Amino acid sequence: MKKKEREHALEKNTQVLQDRVSQLQREVESLRKENGWLRALVINGAPQPLSSPELAGASLSAASTSKTASRE
């Protein structure tokens, strides 16, 4: 009997931990989005979400190109 009870407790603990991992993964994704928005706000002065460093470079070069074109 004790073996089955222990197995049941382990299965329940496993499920609780899996749920916690899922919750933390969602929280990490949310915080990464928020970090991107805040970074864009600080760098560009406008809230534009950045999902990767490549996009950050592209948006900065596009902004400098538009400023240069408006001066001409």
Count of other CB atoms within 10 angstroms of residue 51: 10
More confident residue, 11 or 62: 11
The answer, as to whether pTM is greater than 0.85, is no
Contacts of 60 (CB under 8 A, 6+ apart): 43, 44
Average pLDDT over every residue of 36-50: 79
The tokens of 34 are what? 């928020």
Per-residue model confidence (pLDDT) at position 6: 95
Contacts of 33 (CB under 8 A, 6+ apart): 49
Average pLDDT over every residue of 17-30: 98
Domain boundaries, the chain: 2-71
Q: Tokens 């197995």 correspond to what residue?
A: 7
Task: Give percent of the chain above pLDDT 90.
Answer: 54
Instruction: Give helix 53-71 / helix 2-44 axis angle, nearest 10°.
Output: 10
Per-residue model confidence (pLDDT) at position 45: 80
